[in-house]
Structure 1
Amino acid sequence: MVYPLLPFVRLRRCRGRGFVWFACIIGSATAVMAAETAGRTNAQANPDVTFHVAPKPLPAGAVTTDWPSFLGPTHNMVSAETKLLREFPAAGLRPVWEMKKGEGFAAPAILGDRLVLFHRVGDEEVVDCLQAGDGRRFWRVAYPTSYHDRYGYNHGPRCSPVIGGGRVYTYGAEGKLHCLDLETGRVIWKRDLLAEFEGRQNFFGVGATPLIEGTTLIMNVGARKGPCVAAFDLATGKLVWGAGDTWGPSYASPIPATVHGQRRVFVFAGGESDPATGGLLCLDPANGKVDFTFPWRGTRVESVNAASPVVLGDRVFVAECYGSGGALVQVSADFTAKPLWQNPSFGMHFMTAIPLGDHLYGVDGHGPRDAEMVCVELATGKEVWRAQPQWQETVPARTGTRDMTMGTFRSSLLQVDGRTLCLGEFGHLLWVELTPAGYKEIARTWLFPASETWTPPVLSRGLLYVNQNTRGMFRGEPARLMCYDLRAGE
């Protein structure tokens, strides 16, 4: 998803190391990156973490994966993991550990035993590298930010970290791009892209997670006079190529795919602009050559393209929820494109649709009460069914308890272990069965009662990581990163 510096010096005390600081250059301004625990190779106790219980051992023969990038290792919210818990305990899923986190909607990224969380604490954007299994901290890097969300939702980063080649890349809400050493947290290079490319702040700050492709980092920078998409050398940060000159930045991540035997990247661009413009670009990641563009954007100025493209062989699905809805595009062998169908009633807000057999399943709508689960035929775009899963929860009240209607609403779908995992907007987790016959709930639990649970869940080695982005509705728990044991056990 789910948005002029003055010279300054910040000092951070490291345990047993005194004060550590180093200078960096952002454009023409001098800045200092504070590295509180950078350089450590062994995880240390994390004062922000509460450890609850060790997870069950992985079942014999379980397939596990890393989660190094937004939407998972295959960039489509489909996971190869197996032997997961099929039913939820009556008392609910017990967390393995939890960490008090700052503001932001960025999902964590995981490679091996390292989890990277990107969030805002106070007036700093913070990168935490943690032990994935228990939340202990390897290192923390922080730098100042003054970003303010004009709509008051959240002042933290929207872009998830991406990990590759022993490095981690973060892209903050103000357009500051950093390359850090995954082992130590050392800053390798950095750029202020919003300043350098005269970029647009967009409705909710910068929000399009970068993509590691080959030796480059591909980004929807959306410069006013181009480029729309840019590739930067992973090792040095130097610009390799720029492409496109019209559409602005979106909140959708670039998606890689091999189509007709050739590697391509699909970018769904388009953010704040008047008139509203944007659409799908197909690019050659080797040189930035644009094969085709497909304009697709709602006509309302107050909208953005935020759902990442879904690549289905030689077809690409794109969707937005402020008027145009969804469309399926056919990519020909000569890399021209034509629309196969359009459905204005199948529009994703920032969620990713998932294909199952000959059908697509997704969440249509932009508000909590009009967000519905929908199934359409992949060949025609014809709607097969529409449902709004709801149920009653008994919740605390000033005197006693009361019943409250809850539902999945603006939820995220994850296809894994032969079923679909659904993370609801108010912190519910469900196993669901999605077929052309309809929606069926298999199991449900309430992880935590909190709104804006819009960050997609992350799954690695049988552990499920979920962002609680706002305070708890009843007990006021702070925003947290939660780690749950989803392993089936022996």
Structure 2
Amino acid sequence: MPPENAESETQEPAKRRRRVIFPWVWLGLLAALRLAIEFAGFTVDIRVGANIIGPLLAVLGLALWYAIRGRGPVWLRLAIGVAPFAALAIFNSLYAMQFNGAGEIVGLMRRGDVKADELLAGVDVVSEEDGVTDWGPGEYNYPRFLGEGAWAEAVGPPIAVDWETNPPQELWRREVGAGWSAFAVYGKYAITQEQRGEDELVVCYRVETGEPVWSHADKARFDPTDFQGNMGRQGPRATPTIVGDRVYTQGAQGMVKCLDARTGQPIWDVDTIAEYKAELIVWGKSGSPLFVPASNDGVERDLVVVNVGAPAEATEGFDASLVAFDAETGEEVWSNGSRQTSYASPELVTLHGERVILQTVDDYLMAHRVADGSVLFEHPWYGSSDNMPTCSQPIELPGDQILLTKGYSHGSSLLQVIRDGDAWSAENVWTPPIQRVLQTKFSNTVVRGDYAYAMDGDDLQCIEIATGKKQWSSRRRPKLGFGQVLLVGDYILVMTEEIGEVVLVDASPERYREVASLKVLAEKETCWNNPVIVGDVLLVRNAVEAAAYRLPLATD
């Protein structure tokens, strides 16, 4: 007869084999997932995220496995199992990481350290105290986010592009507060939003000199410290909207204001978070106010329309996702919608001869009637305010079409808007309906002729609109990054994300051809702000500085 312990002796090697098989399976699964992400054509931000999260999951998974199934004293197994989790928690409590658009770590800051905008908290913004005495429109104006057209386009005479022999000339450079606002330009003045310490400001500068002429401050600071929120950093996101002698703004925490354009004095304000019990979404309120002029289509008074969003928990009867205020008084005119807002701005378009407001919300594109905000149609468009959000504007195209673009490896879609009497709908044009092109993340699309141009991840890309077919993608080194684009006549101007350059590229479907470039901002300072060209002046900014350049003209 075999010894009594023979069975246990034969089972022990089998148990050991089962004990050590998990680490190999776990690491193999993570490696297979990473390879799948690499070869599936995901954008660089998803691939970089996998590079960070993959090793972290590997270490945490192995530590947990060892605590449960490893060999050794219980105290040792528990210590090894808990150590990585404790180290991660301690690190997160001491340091905040800063990321670029690709998700790469570009900075590490001790929590509690003074930030750049806080150093400006005690600095006087205004050098003149009487405000503006010569306020008025200029020959060229850029009075709101992305200008006055359907996409970002320079306003002014043609520029010369031989910057080697006739380079742009710097007019001024100055420190500014944090934030991702662009400049809105009206006549001789440029207005933007900034964070300086505990104050959220709207500041008016002279275009020619950079001197501030007035500022308006609110005690408000958007500065998320959690891992997810910190990826967007601090400060306001929206761009002011200038209409005549008034300026309309939205702060990062949902404060909507109307200011006197000559002095910066407040005329009215609405705290939309408090008034409508809406949630302050993870990366802050980013929608720029939309001005809708009165007309004979039922809009009896000028309106200012803003994305308000929705409460964190579904609330029966909530209907204030999109709200229109009287531009003169701030009184609510109408509200509609129950879905959470995105990070894009409401947009006024004309479809089938009727003015319509487009709004992107969680998982949908919404179309609202301007007179009362009622929903004309909705179309599925994936997005979540706290996970793979929608930031890019819908693009109105001829023939009642709408181009939608989105990052996070989602892609783009071309819609045909159908109207049959009072019934509205939108149908997909492309096959397949969503194509992995123009994967914009923080940026927007510009159109020239039959082609659209935008940042596809961190590359500039051109597609044929009718088919969604890619014409080319840039393969530049150093990369353009998750920058912003501006149509300038026959060219695309790209404001790079991290290298401080503007790059001028042929707006041609034939190939990517770079014609000029210029260093305009400091390197290694993230720039997600849109550039502006008004007349012959280029205005750029990031979260720490702003600058203006005189561009050479083609007629010079």
- Under TM normalisation by the shorter chain, which class is it? 0.7 to 0.9
Percent identity, aligned pairs only, is 28
Q: Are positions 1:337 and 2:422 aligned together?
A: no
Aligned residue for 1:419?
A: 491
- Give the distance between the partners of 2:156 and 2:287, measured in 1 at CA: 26
Aligned residue for 2:87?
A: none
Q: Are positions 1:322 and 2:408 aligned together?
A: yes
Code of the aligned partner of 1:234: A
| Deviation per residue, 1:240-268 (Å, 9 max, x gap) | 111211x2121111221222221112112
Aligned residue for 2:549?
A: 484
Code of the aligned partner of 1:447: V
- Give the distance between the partners of 1:462 and 1:485, measured in 2 at CA: 6
Shift of 1:374: 2.2
Q: Are positions 1:309 and 2:394 aligned together?
A: yes
- Give the distance between the partners of 1:423 and 1:105, measured in 2 at CA: 13
Code of the aligned partner of 1:430: V
Aligned ranges 1:248-397 → 2 under 5 Å: 248-270=340-362, 278-298=363-383, 302-313=387-398, 314-334=400-420, 335-341=424-430, 342-346=433-437, 347-365=439-457, 371-390=458-477
More strand by share: 1
Asked if structure 2 preserves the Cα contact closer than 8 Å seen for 1:220 and 1:269, the reply is no
Aligned residue for 2:327?
A: 234
Alpha-carbon distance change, 137 to 179 in structure 1, aligned in 2, over 3 angstroms: same
Shift of 1:99: 2.3
The Cα RMSD (Å) is 2.6
Asked if structure 2 preserves the Cα contact closer than 8 Å seen for 1:36 and 1:140, the reply is no
- Give the distance between the partners of 1:308 and 1:288, measured in 2 at CA: 19
Asked if structure 1 preserves the Cα contact closer than 8 Å seen for 2:169 and 2:551, the reply is no
Alpha-carbon distance change, 85 to 311 in structure 1, aligned in 2, over 3 angstroms: same
Q: Secondary structure at the match of 2:273?
A: helix
| Deviation per residue, 1:440-470 (Å, 9 max, x gap) | 111112223233211110111211110132x
Aligned ranges 1:398-409 → 2 under 5 Å: 406-409=478-481
- Give the distance between the partners of 2:259 and 2:470, measured in 1 at CA: 45
Code of the aligned partner of 1:269: V
The structure number with the bigger radius of gyration is 2
Q: Secondary structure at the match of 1:71?
A: coil
| Structure 1 segments (4+ residues) deviating >3 Å | 34-39, 89-94, 298-301
Alpha-carbon distance change, 36 to 122 in structure 1, aligned in 2, over 3 angstroms: farther
Aligned residue for 2:212?
A: 137
Code of the aligned partner of 1:219: V
- Give the distance between the partners of 2:164 and 2:361, measured in 1 at CA: 42
Q: Secondary structure at the match of 1:116?
A: strand
- Give the distance between the partners of 1:301 and 1:179, measured in 2 at CA: 29
- Give the distance between the partners of 1:130 and 1:445, measured in 2 at CA: 23
Shift of 1:38: 6.5
| Deviation per residue, 1:287-342 (Å, 9 max, x gap) | 21211111201479522110011110211111221243211111123332111123
Asked if structure 1 preserves the Cα contact closer than 8 Å seen for 2:189 and 2:207, the reply is yes
Aligned length: 406
Alpha-carbon distance change, 136 to 447 in structure 1, aligned in 2, over 3 angstroms: closer
Q: Which deviates more from structure 2 when the two are superposed, residues 151-160 or residues 87-96? A: 87-96
- Give the distance between the partners of 2:212 and 2:520, measured in 1 at CA: 24
- Give the distance between the partners of 1:299 and 1:111, measured in 2 at CA: 35
Asked if structure 1 preserves the Cα contact closer than 8 Å seen for 2:461 and 2:473, the reply is yes
Aligned residue for 1:182?
A: 261
Aligned residue for 1:455?
A: 529
Code of the aligned partner of 2:456: D
Shift of 1:387: 2.7
Asked if structure 2 preserves the Cα contact closer than 8 Å seen for 1:360 and 1:377, the reply is yes
Alpha-carbon distance change, 359 to 219 in structure 1, aligned in 2, over 3 angstroms: same
Q: Secondary structure at the match of 1:79?
A: coil
Shift of 1:93: 3.9
Alpha-carbon distance change, 387 to 89 in structure 1, aligned in 2, over 3 angstroms: closer
More helix by share: 2
Asked if structure 2 preserves the Cα contact closer than 8 Å seen for 1:423 and 1:430, the reply is yes
Compute the TM-score of the two structures, normalised by the length of structure 2.
Answer: 0.68
Alpha-carbon distance change, 336 to 171 in structure 1, aligned in 2, over 3 angstroms: same
- Structure 2 spans left out of the alignment, 5+ residues: 1-100, 102-120, 294-301, 312-317
- Give the distance between the partners of 1:86 and 1:35, measured in 2 at CA: 35
Q: Secondary structure at the match of 1:268?
A: strand
Aligned partner of 1:103 among 156, 174, 178: 178
| Deviation per residue, 1:157-209 (Å, 9 max, x gap) | 00011101310011111111111010122210011111111112112111111
Alpha-carbon distance change, 186 to 351 in structure 1, aligned in 2, over 3 angstroms: same
| Deviation per residue, 1:68-97 (Å, 9 max, x gap) | 000012141123422323122479643201
Aligned residue for 2:63?
A: none
Code of the aligned partner of 1:321: G
Shift of 1:377: 2.1
Shift of 1:212: 0.8
Asked if structure 2 preserves the Cα contact closer than 8 Å seen for 1:128 and 1:137, the reply is yes
- Structure 1 spans left out of the alignment, 5+ residues: 3-11, 16-33, 44-62, 271-277, 366-370, 391-405, 470-478
Compute the TM-score of the two structures, normalised by the length of structure 1.
Answer: 0.77
Alpha-carbon distance change, 265 to 303 in structure 1, aligned in 2, over 3 angstroms: same
